[in-house]
């Protein structure tokens, strides 16, 4: 493992969103904007990725450019992290591999767009979930991705002892949409209240999710998203898309169907989450 800095106010950023979640050139733009948002909050961004077999906690801008433009990057989750190291792969780490590595590097806070969860077929469960169930880390996100079975994902989190805290919201957001009708476990209005909850939870050994809706100017309405999603899910089934290809395929199809609007929403929510994570990390580092 290569750790770039030991600065206490670090925020880990996953990189599967760079290699598999967003099209070029918005992927590079997203990564840079997230880093800027974290620095503006007086914290230090650490993009987590695997470069030629080395798990990296923090990468240089040259390395980021290379990763964002890599012709065939791997999607690295927990099941293939060790293989990626042994076989010298280069790739983006999902929330699962990122949380695992960040925790080992002593980082308490990470940011992403939407976590993985229980897929709608009910059989495919993202390794993000079991990893969060055994990793004490504070994850700032906009809920789970709307392509998933959100009620089942919410139940899974509850079963496995992962609290969901709404930041200025009482509902679980659905990534591109602000509301899902699913409740959060607690709502807080400011960063200090979040810190108090995290300090109470930390010793439990599981992650805590902090969720906030996508910025209002970019959010999709529920009926709008339902129509796009119905078509994308139907097409994915027809095309026989399975396993780890599912999430990237659906995100890319939604981007096409919405004329690029979902990409703008994704960018906006990633930056907002990075900013909040930066504020949390900065505050935690002074305690
Ligand atoms: N957040 C985004 N876009 C993404 C992802 C998160 O805004 O593409 C990635 C994360 O890396 C997450 C992964 O861990 O999607 C989930 O993939 P899967 O469902 O295959 O576990
Ligand atoms: Mn899967």
* Cα–Cα dist 87/188, whole Å: 44
Q: How confident is the model at residue 51 (pLDDT cuts 50, 70, 90)?
A: very high
212 lines ligand 1 (CB under 6 A): no
Q: Is the pLDDT of residue 287 over 90?
A: no
Task: Decide if 166 contacts 172 (C-beta within 8 A).
Answer: yes
Is residue 162's pLDDT more than 90?
yes
pLDDT at residue 48 is higher than 90: yes
Number of Cβ within 10 Å of residue 218's Cβ equals 18
* pLDDT tens digits, one per residue of 261-284: 999 999 999 999 999 999 999 999
265 lines ligand 1 (CB under 6 A): no
- Does 80 contact ligand 1 (Cβ within 6 A)? no
What does the pLDDT average to over 168-188? 97
C-alpha separations of 104 from 83, 98, 162, 210, 216 in Å:
18, 10, 19, 21, 35
Tell the residue nearest (CA) to atom 10 of ligand 1. Answer: 94
Residue reference for tokens 């990633």: 270
Q: Distances from the Cα of 53 to the Cαs of 49, 132, 262, in angstroms? A: 10, 24, 32
Average pLDDT over residues 21-42: 98
For residue 115, name the pLDDT band (cuts at 50, 70, 90).
Answer: very high
DSSP code for 107: -
Domains and CATH numbers, the chain: 4-284 (3.40.1790.10)
Which pLDDT score is estimated for 121?
Answer: 86
* 222 annotated active-site: no
Instruction: State phi, psi for 94 to the nearest 5 degrees.
Output: -75, 180
Strands (E) in the chain, as ranges, are: 2-3, 10-13, 44-51, 54-57, 74-76, 91-93, 109-111, 138-141, 164-167, 186-188, 208-211
List, as one string, the DSSP characters of 164-230: EEEES-SB--BTTBS--SPBPSEEESSHHHHHHHHHHHGGGSS-EEEE-PPPGGGPBPHHHHHHHHH
pTM of the model: 0.96
User: Rounded mean pLDDT of the chain?
Assistant: 97
> Per the residue annotation, which of 145, 189, 199, 224 is the catalytic one?
145
Supply 144's token pair: 């789970």
Pocket probe mutation, ligand 1, options 15, 121, 247, 267, max atoms within 8 Å of Cβ: 247
Phi and psi angles of residue 54, each rounded to the nearest 5 degrees, phi first: -100, 120
Please say if the pLDDT value at position 5 is more than 90. no
Per DSSP, 244 falls in state G
Query: What local confidence, expressed as pLDDT, does residue 47 receive?
Result: 98
Report yes or no: 75 and 81 within 8 Å, Cβ to Cβ: no
- Identify the band that residue 177 occupies on the pLDDT scale cut at 50, 70 and 90: very high
User: Does any ligand 1 atom lie closer than 6 A to the CB of residue 17?
Assistant: yes
Model confidence pLDDT, tens digit, residues 116-143: 999 998 889 999 999 999 999 999 999 9
Residues 147 and 145: their CA atoms lie apart, in Å, by 5
């Amino acid at each position: 493992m290569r750790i770039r800095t030991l600065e206490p106010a670090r925020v880990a950023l996953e990189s599967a969103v760079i290699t598999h979640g967003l099209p070029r050139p918005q992927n590079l733009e997203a990564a840079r904007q997230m880093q800027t948002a974290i620095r503006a909050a007086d914290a230090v961004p650490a993009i987590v990725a695997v470069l030629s077999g080395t798990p990296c906690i923090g990468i240089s801008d040259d390395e980021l450019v290379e990763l964002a433009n890599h012709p065939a990057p791997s999607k690295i989750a927990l099941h293939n992290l060790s293989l990626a190291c042994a076989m010298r792969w280069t790739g983006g780490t999902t929330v699962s591999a990122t949380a695992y590595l960040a925790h080992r590097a002593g980082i308490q806070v990470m940011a992403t767009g939407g976590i993985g969860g229980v897929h709608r077929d009910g059989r495919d469960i993202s390794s993000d979930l079991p990893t969060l169930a055994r990793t004490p880390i504070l994850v700032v996100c906009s809920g789970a991705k709307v392509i998933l079975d959100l009620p089942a994902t919410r139940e899974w989190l509850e079963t496995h002892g992962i609290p969901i805290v709404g930041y200025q919201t009482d509902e679980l957001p659905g990534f591109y949409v602000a509301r899902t009708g699913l409740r959060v476990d607690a709502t807080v209005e400011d960063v200090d209240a979040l810190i108090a909850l995290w300090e109470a939870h930390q010793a439990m050994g599981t992650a805590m999710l902090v969720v906030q809706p996508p910025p209002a100017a970019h959010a999709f309405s529920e009926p709008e998203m339902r129509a796009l999603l119905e078509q994308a899910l139907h097409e994915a089934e027809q095309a026989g898309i399975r396993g780890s290809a599912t999430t990237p395929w659906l995100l890319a199809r939604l981007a096409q169907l919405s004329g690029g609007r979902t990409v703008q929403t994704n960018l906006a929510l990633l930056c907002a989450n990075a900013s909040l994570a930066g504020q949390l990390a900065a505050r935690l580092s002074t305690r």
